[in-house]
Structure 1
Amino acid sequence: MAPGLLAAGAIAGAGPAAADSGPSPQGGATATLNGLKTSDQAVVRQDGAEDLKTGAGLFEMSVEDGGTLQTYSLDVHNPAQELARYQEVPWRASSLHDNRDAGRIRWILQHSYPQVNDLEKLASEARTGPLTPGTAAAGTQVAIWRFSDGADVRAVDPAAEKLADHLRSAARKMAEPKASLALTQPAVSGKDGGRLGPVTVHTSARNVTVTPGADAAASGVRITDKKGRPVTTARHGSELYFDVPAGAEPGTTSLTAQSATTIPVGRTLTGTGELAKSQTQILAGSSGSTVSATATARWADQGAIPALTAEKNCADGGVDVTSENKGDGPFRFTLGDVDYEIAPGETRTVTVPVAEDQSYKIEIPVPEGTGDGGDYGSGEDSGRTFTGVLDCEPGATGSDEAGLAPQTGAETPLDGGDDTATTGGEPDLAETGNSSNTPLIIGLALGLVVVGGAAMLLVRKRKPGGASGAGPSGPSAPSAPSAPSKPSEPSDSGE
């Protein structure tokens, strides 16, 4: 039984998953999936089952606060969810985290449609014969699926299939692209009367605007550089600080870095929010798009002063919760049945196990008015809550493994060898893996979370007290085997 996630003494996973509360360690673009816009057909071969036909091509996304993205799918067996929200993440937080061919996928993106939009030139280089936008997109998608999923897949159109073969054989390894915008150390803490930080800016943009939170002025907090000079703009490598005046009442505030930029080709986007389990996407093209990242600060005059962050850890199958205590008293909290104590000046990361496709909710309260915690206010500011879905592996929807009902409308079984291409049309999301069963799936999953959580309590009993803690859519999983396993070789690229 897959373990449920325990947090703050309670079983997590109640209700639909939402975006992580507070700042994302990744930052960058947040977008909504509009659908499959430029496509043709592909066939996925399955051992012991009918071959399945699916749409293959370019998705379009609308970026929050402005901009448009073009993306390809990385997960042929996982349906796309209409209007699903996505967050830009590094490869380590996606299904590419252990894929030795991730760099080759980026090469394909750089050397095919739409980055190469001269279709006559692309057809000549690949010796395919005439290409249309739909067949060029389908051939590119098929080549990507062969590396991302290890899928036995072919394009229906002969020219698209030749393009896929050419791209697969020509692909070379490339490094992971840098984030459009991210902040290192997105949560800081310390005593009043000093500068808290640094928060380091990482961006592909020329510069970013820096805006303090709405509550900063009331506390007298300013955003400055290391020397205390006010900061309103920053660039890659800039270090930002929260300058908290002496005697300020214990509290929290934030800053937001934002820019309009072209997001680098090859960045991955994973689902977040109520439709978090949606096909992982990889960026193929970007207009000027709005990207942002947020950092928070907490201060007090005594006691524990924690800074809390969480990040998906695909390599270890869980969520890394990092606690840094810049106060003069211990910070105590509980995850599941394990008590932790973070000493003054200590930083500790605890990896909380989460099953693949599992929703999680991690709540870490900061006590109010206790001898070891100080007065940090109440409500959301009294702690941190991190929620989401762990989506790290390609090749399965989770339906078979979690006992969920199969998702329908994700594929079309082939009958009598129908290889007719549909170049002239644009398949809607129902044809390309859109699922309307999300509420049912979530409801069934919650029952499993509870049972899994109870199992975890029994088998993961640990001694309490000061523990050193540790496209386009495609065929659905019930009728498709998992993708062939890949050699256990470390990824050749990183953030």
Structure 2
Amino acid sequence: MISSISALFARGRGPVRLAAAAVASGVVAVGLLATAGTAAAAEVTQSQGGATATIGGLKTYGAAVVHAEGGDQEVSAGLFEMSVEGGGTLQTYCVDLYNPTQRDAKYHETPWSGTLLAANRNAGRIRWILQNSYPQVNDLASLADKAGIGAGLTEQDAAAGTQVAIWRYSDGAAVDAVDPQAERLADYLQKAARVVAEPTASLTLDAPAVSGRPGELLGPVTVHTDATSATVTPPVDAATSGVRIVGKDGKPLTAVSEGSQLFFDVPADTAAGSAELTVQASTTVPVGRAFTSDSRSQTQILAGSSESTVSATASATWALKGAIPALSAAKNCAKSGVDIAAANRGDEAFTFELMGVQHTVPAGGSGTVTIPLQEDQAYDFSIVGPRGDQNRFTGVLDCRTQADEIAGLTTQTLSEPSPATVGGVSTADDTDLAATGGSSATPLIAGTAIGLVVIGGAALLLVGRKENGSQR
């Protein structure tokens, strides 16, 4: 019963009190208070399956010029490379020009709805550029011919021109490539781009959390993947607990494909508990998939993929009686918050508290609560289950480009040495070029201002006013 939980949330969200304290650096961290408990917390990430990778830096790139009120700045523009957990390599472009890349940041494949692309009406044009330029089109002579460019388009020019065209759509940036060939490619791609639909995930599970009574088949968990096949790993204690992963016919499943349905088969005499399965496959991740990091490292978009390992997990909770909740979370950039999906397959209502507000899911009901957050806000909160178990949700809300937040402000660099303005003196190792975040050793142009809230070292607490006892 979605209306029950959503209506309660609508009337129950009280005013929010902000309390801030800043450290000497002036950087502010954001925390979220929520119900605490004594049981160990099971951390719930907002990754919805797919590839997980570590960024390694810029690999193929040229130079570009960003025109801003504070003056023109040179930046490096081109392809990043990521190493996939379990094997594989990804090539990506940046869609978050004014935000730095953190060294060795871990990234997760993310639907556009959970990224700054959610509100970008040109996101589909960015995907067209990716499909019709380098490295997807690696015949540089053919690419140059389409763009009306003479001979001599290099990989560096192709990467720089492609990145510049993307920035014009992702960040609305006034940016030009330094090399004339790269600039002509950027102009061609920008003008030729058409809207293309968001690509499907390489691997995701629907639903990521299920619940019910032992003796029943708990599910279904539906597999969505572009891989030919995927393997299923049962719960780690399956041999002792007796919990099996089966299809709807009750037969054990170890291999699945697109559309397969999985169920947790829990023996009838099993004590209340929970279990988790993992589905893993090897595939090429679709071009245009977004990648985000909870370290607030700049958002990336996929330009190319080798055969790579992708995975997704789903959990099940069971009990003989009482409330039996299943909880999952996903970032919702359209609503500037985190969606907490709750289903209750028990015979009693499940009531939980977030930010001092109670929410109730009736027996047999389900619904979604959107927890509103500020941009760049780190969050860490828990929902306590009926048997004292905790589901912990952590992450950072990153739904807008820095350009949206600092429009009209003077641009500054985030680190030393400062990038030289165009026409300035270059050093032998090109350390005057601001990079789009390839490593902490290369500075990045970034918009900032006194009072801008970013993740850092003090505390900003959001404390909701508690409901009175008459509201349920």
What is the TM-score with the length of structure 2 in the denominator? 0.84
Q: Return the alpha-carbon distance in structure 2 between the equivalents of residues 191 and 226 of structure 1.
A: 16
1:167 matched residue in structure 2: 189
Letter matched to residue 65 of structure 1 = G
- 1:246 corresponds to 2:268: yes
Verify the 8 A CA contact 2:46 2:331 in the aligned structure 1.
no
- 1:144 corresponds to 2:166: yes
Q: How does 1:350-369 map to 2 (within 5 A)?
A: 350-368=369-387
Q: Return the alpha-carbon distance in structure 1 between the equivalents of residues 352 and 390 of structure 2.
A: 10
Deviation, structure 1 residue 34: 0.3
Q: How does 1:323-402 map to 2 (within 5 A)?
A: 323-368=342-387, 382-396=389-403
Unaligned runs of at least 5 residues, structure 2:
1-16, 20-29, 37-41, 447-451
Verify the 8 A CA contact 1:337 1:464 in the aligned structure 2.
no
Q: Return the alpha-carbon distance in structure 2 between the equivalents of residues 177 and 333 of structure 1.
A: 35
Instruction: Give the match's secondary structure for 1:45.
Output: strand
Letter matched to residue 83 of structure 1 = D
Deviation, structure 1 residue 322: 1.4
* Partner of residue 188 from structure 1, selected from 204, 210, 219: 210
* Partner of residue 80 from structure 2, selected from 59, 84, 96: 59
Compared with structure 1, are the counterparts of its residues 433 and 217 closer, same or farther at alpha carbon in structure 2 (3 Å cutoff)? farther
1:463 matched residue in structure 2: 467
Deviation, structure 1 residue 201: 0.5
Verify the 8 A CA contact 1:88 1:268 in the aligned structure 2.
yes
Q: Deviations over 1:1-43 (max 9, x none)?
A: 9785644247xxxxxxxxx934656200000000000000001
Verify the 8 A CA contact 1:330 1:343 in the aligned structure 2.
yes
1:40 matched residue in structure 2: 62
Compared with structure 1, are the counterparts of its residues 422 and 407 closer, same or farther at alpha carbon in structure 2 (3 Å cutoff)? closer
Instruction: Give the match's secondary structure for 1:413.
Output: coil
1:283 matched residue in structure 2: 302
Compared with structure 1, are the counterparts of its residues 432 and 407 closer, same or farther at alpha carbon in structure 2 (3 Å cutoff)? closer
2:313 matched residue in structure 1: 294
- 1:71 corresponds to 2:92: yes
Letter matched to residue 325 of structure 1 = N
* Partner of residue 119 from structure 2, selected from 89, 98, 101: 98
Verify the 8 A CA contact 1:181 1:204 in the aligned structure 2.
yes
Q: Return the alpha-carbon distance in structure 2 between the equivalents of residues 157 and 420 of structure 1.
A: 19
Q: Return the alpha-carbon distance in structure 2 between the equivalents of residues 465 and 176 of structure 1.
A: 45
Q: Return the alpha-carbon distance in structure 1 between the equivalents of residues 45 and 278 of structure 2.
A: 9
Verify the 8 A CA contact 1:332 1:341 in the aligned structure 2.
yes
1:8 matched residue in structure 2: 34
Instruction: Give the match's secondary structure for 1:21.
Output: strand
Compared with structure 1, are the counterparts of its residues 146 and 426 closer, same or farther at alpha carbon in structure 2 (3 Å cutoff)? closer
Q: Return the alpha-carbon distance in structure 1 between the equivalents of residues 403 and 208 of structure 2.
A: 33
Q: How does 1:100-115 map to 2 (within 5 A)?
A: 100-115=121-136
Unaligned runs of at least 5 residues, structure 1:
11-19, 369-377, 436-440, 469-495
Q: Deviations over 1:259-286 (max 9, x none)?
A: 01000000000013xxx11110000000
Q: Return the alpha-carbon distance in structure 1 between the equivalents of residues 270 and 60 of structure 2.
A: 56
Instruction: Give the match's secondary structure for 2:228.
Output: coil
Q: Return the alpha-carbon distance in structure 2 between the equivalents of residues 409 and 135 of structure 1.
A: 27
Q: CA RMSD in A?
A: 3.0
1:81 matched residue in structure 2: 102
Verify the 8 A CA contact 1:210 1:232 in the aligned structure 2.
yes
Give the share of equivalent positions with the same residue, in percent.
Answer: 52
2:341 matched residue in structure 1: 322
Instruction: Give the match's secondary structure for 1:51.
Output: strand
Deviation, structure 1 residue 433: 2.9
1:414 matched residue in structure 2: 421
- 1:117 corresponds to 2:148: no
Instruction: Give the match's secondary structure for 2:164.
Output: helix
Verify the 8 A CA contact 1:7 1:334 in the aligned structure 2.
no
Q: Return the alpha-carbon distance in structure 1 between the equivalents of residues 405 and 104 of structure 2.
A: 20
Q: Return the alpha-carbon distance in structure 2 between the equivalents of residues 308 and 263 of structure 1.
A: 27
Q: Return the alpha-carbon distance in structure 2 between the equivalents of residues 400 and 101 of structure 1.
A: 19
Deviation, structure 1 residue 353: 1.3
Compared with structure 1, are the counterparts of its residues 112 and 169 closer, same or farther at alpha carbon in structure 2 (3 Å cutoff)? same
Deviation, structure 1 residue 400: 11
Compared with structure 1, are the counterparts of its residues 266 and 67 closer, same or farther at alpha carbon in structure 2 (3 Å cutoff)? same
* Partner of residue 237 from structure 2, selected from 212, 215, 227: 215
Compared with structure 1, are the counterparts of its residues 209 and 364 closer, same or farther at alpha carbon in structure 2 (3 Å cutoff)? same
Q: Aligned residues, how many?
A: 427
Deviation, structure 1 residue 413: 3.3
* Partner of residue 154 from structure 1, selected from 147, 160, 176: 176
What is the TM-score with the length of structure 1 in the denominator? 0.80
Compared with structure 1, are the counterparts of its residues 444 and 300 closer, same or farther at alpha carbon in structure 2 (3 Å cutoff)? closer
Q: Return the alpha-carbon distance in structure 1 between the equivalents of residues 417 and 402 of structure 2.
A: 14
Deviation, structure 1 residue 321: 0.9
Letter matched to residue 316 of structure 2 = A
Instruction: Give the match's secondary structure for 1:247.
Output: coil
Verify the 8 A CA contact 2:414 2:443 in the aligned structure 1.
no
Deviation, structure 1 residue 139: 0.2
Bigger strand fraction:
2
* Deviates further, 406-415 or 327-336: 406-415
2:285 matched residue in structure 1: 263
Q: Deviations over 1:269-325 (max 9, x none)?
A: 0013xxx11110000000000000000001110111111111111011111111111
Verify the 8 A CA contact 1:409 1:434 in the aligned structure 2.
no
Letter matched to residue 192 of structure 2 = A
Deviation, structure 1 residue 339: 1.4
